[in-house]
Amino acid sequence: MLTVYNSDSLIVCQGCNAGTFQYNEDMKIKTTEHYNRIIQGATAILLTEGLAAFSTTKVAKHIQMAQSNIYVYFKNKDDLLVSVFRYHQKKYIQFLVDRIDLSLPPTDALKNLVSTLDEFHSSDKESLDVIWSIRQSTTLRQLIPKVSDDQIFIAIFQWLKDLQHQGTVRQLPLMYLTNLVFSAIIDYFQLIDSKEMSPNELAIEEIVPPLSALLFV
């Protein structure tokens, strides 16, 4: 038996010499290295090409891997995109967990959230861009993790629900209110990144009052 290794799979040949071998698709081996390589490649394509133009073909070409090997790890394009989302949201959630303080008075807690997102935007803009991009797809939003899947978001929604009961937060669906606030913060970052507006014109701290007006009574 001749056993040959390449970068993408284990190839086994029986009854052949060193000059020829048979490729067995079923013998491909999953590795963390290849998984992360695909995730990073998919991230690069998503950020450079956009969600509409994203394809596993482009990912495969970018990372110089056979497209078929991508499907060893992911069922389809949407499955890959959801995995990319999960990868970046995990980093985002850890960042929030380490910094969010819901024990503060409501306006101060909102200020804390805005400054935390600003820090994350500065330190890991790529992850924030990926999260925002994938959330723009109504189809993918049905597949990505829900609020109830992560303790930090459960805590934030419970905090807002309690404030609603106290008459502090507007009596509107919390999913709508949180998306409204998050979108407004992302819009600010995009205006800064595109140089359509400078921080000198509007500092990050200055968006807290209008956000407070949106959220609080």
pLDDT, residue 4, reads 32
pLDDT in tens, 60-116: 999 999 999 999 999 999 999 999 999 999 999 999 999 999 999 999 999 999 999
Confidence band for 31, pLDDT divided at 50, 70 and 90: very high
pTM of the model: 0.84
Is residue 26 within 8 Å of 8, Cβ to Cβ?
Answer: no
How far is CA 11 from its chain centroid?
Answer: 34
Phi, psi angle pair for 48, to nearest 5°: -90, -35
> Residue 18 class from Cβ within 10 Å (0-12 exposed, 13-18 middle, 19+ buried)?
exposed
Fold of 88-217: Tetracycline Repressor; domain 2 (1.10.357)
Cα–Cα distance, 42 to 64 (Å, whole number): 12
Confidence band for 28, pLDDT divided at 50, 70 and 90: low
Domains of the chain by residue range: 1-74, 88-217
pLDDT in tens, 137-152: 999 999 999 999 999 9
pLDDT > 90 in the chain, percent? 86
Phi, psi angle pair for 212, to nearest 5°: -65, -40
Confidence band for 30, pLDDT divided at 50, 70 and 90: confident
Neighbours of 100 (CB within 10 A): 17
Domain 1-74 top-level CATH class: mainly alpha
Average of per-residue pLDDT values in the chain: 89
